[in-house]
A = this chain, B = another copy of it.
Amino acid sequence: MSSFSGNLLVAQSGGPTPVINASLAGVIAEALNHEDEIVEILGGLNGIQGILHEQLIDLAEESQQTLRNLEHTPGAALGTCRYKVKKQEDFDRILQVFEAHNIRYFHYIGGNDSQDTAAKIDALAKERGYELRVIGVPKTIDNDLPLTDHCPGYGSVAKHIALTVREMSLDNAAMGRNDFVSVLEVMGRNAGWLAAASVLAQRQDKRDDSKNAAKNTHYSCSAPHIVLLPEVPFNADNFIRRVEEVLKTNLHCFVVVSEGVQDEAGNFLGADTTNTDAFGHAVLGGAGEYLRTLVEERFSGVKARASKLGIAQRAASHSASKTDVEEAKLCGREAVKAAVKGESGKMVIMSRTGKEQYGVETLLAPLADIANGVKAFPEKWIGEDKMSIHPDFARYALPLIQGELQLPYEQGLPRYAELSKKRVQRKLEAYPTA
């Protein structure tokens, strides 16, 4: 049928998500459907950095069992990197590796930096007349990629955060006597999508029971009572006033804070620049710990506790959203389908379908348009008081956290996949740099 055939290379980049391996599983599963066009299915270890060093594995060697478990395994099974390709030398080398291994399909699962790299590889291949199809697969828990309705990875971490807030708030309510403040620090360096997701823990009747709910969420609803986003400069006095208000009517006050919140001078919370360690580095206690200390300083008789989920939140596959896992896999599949159809230089994006019932369709967007944008949390969904979230956001986010996986457990813990990583023989000289 097709006159164009060759090998497929897939790699992962940036911070892992609970579903980046589901996207990988989607790429592999779909590639197996196109044996006329796709000869071998190779994995690049450690993202573009491993590709430079010709660290390739043969994914066809992995067992069916491994591929099945891969769909719900946290981390990035191929390894990942934060290396940013800049030098022309690096790009030349990448194309050399592709030629040596007859790579004709390249799928990079990652965020905007990674898609930027993919765009440049695509452009270089076109310039050199090397026939290559590059289709990116979106990934980021931060949900800040442009053009797509949302990003694979976001729904699962949003679900884990909402779940954690709901559970912790039951504990806090049992402990508090209008004198307990609980602070949960969540990820999100530049955008508040993850912090905002904490409001999904609120009971829906509470969320919707007022025409003016955004105004009221901080005291009339269940936790969280205060949500601090990187989009809003932090003002300590306003914050303390709000905590005081909440504690008047609530047993406890639940605060969710993005790690990326900055004060009005542009300093990250908890980044005390006057407090440096022996080597002169600023000691960063983190935003949550900062707020805990602030509350205990400003109120006498109020106890405050801080939790910081850190990497645990983006690795929590055991509480993944089934919707997210399925969409992540879909994006992987659709990337391969598009490449086989002859598309290149694009990334798969999702568009929401249907008014009544949630659904998505996939489309393609130019890689170059993805590479340079960041989608901040929209102002229309920030409550009037700048410390709460408008109920319309929940209508957007709630479908993304639906559904639970039934993980296989073994000895009390989930069974996760580990790739056997059978190496493909090198064909080039070692690459000295990177």
Contacts and interface: CB of A to CB of B under 8 A. Distances in A.
Given A297-B279, A307-B312, A413 B201 contact: yes
Contacts of A16: 170-171, 174-175
A416 B166 contact: yes
Given A204-B411, A413-B162, A297 B311 contact: no
B311 A308 contact: no
A295 to B, nearest CB: 12
Interface string A156-173: 000100111011111111
A15 B411 contact: no
A176 to B, nearest CB: 9
A283 B162 CA distance: 29
Contacts of A317: 167
B315 A171 contact: yes
A221 B316 CA distance: 22
Interface in A135-172: 159, 162-164, 166-172
A122 interface: no
Nearest to A399: B412
Interface string A288-304: 01000100110000000
A310 B308 contact: yes
Interface stretch (A30-38, A69-77, A337-345, A349-357): A69-77
A89 B121 CA distance: 80
Nearest to A407: B404
A291 to B, nearest CB: 13
A80 interface: yes
A411 B283 CA distance: 41
A366 B200 CA distance: 46
A319 interface: yes
B305 A306 contact: no
Contact of A285 (B175, B289, B318): B289
Complex copy number for this chain: 2
Contact of A163 (B75, B279, B289, B414): B414
A308 B186 CA distance: 11
Contacts of A401: 412-413
Interface residues of A, number: 70
Interface in A75-112: 75-80
A315 B168 contact: yes
A233 interface: no
A217 interface: no
Contacts of A128: none
A286 B289 contact: yes
A402 interface: yes
Contacts of A286: 289
A79 B283 CA distance: 38
A301 to B, nearest CB: 13
A430 interface: no
A182 B279 CA distance: 21
A158 to B, nearest CB: 9
Given A15-B171, A75-B172, A305-B311, 5 more contacts: A16-B174, A162-B412, A167-B318, A278-B297, A309-B309
30 contacts: A12-B174, A46-B177, A74-B167, A75-B170, A75-B173, A80-B174, A162-B412, A164-B315, A166-B413, A166-B414, A167-B316, A167-B317, A167-B318, A167-B416, A171-B311, A184-B312, A204-B411, A279-B297, A281-B296, A285-B289, A286-B289, A289-B289, A306-B308, A307-B308, A307-B310, A308-B308, A309-B309, A309-B312, A402-B411, A404-B409
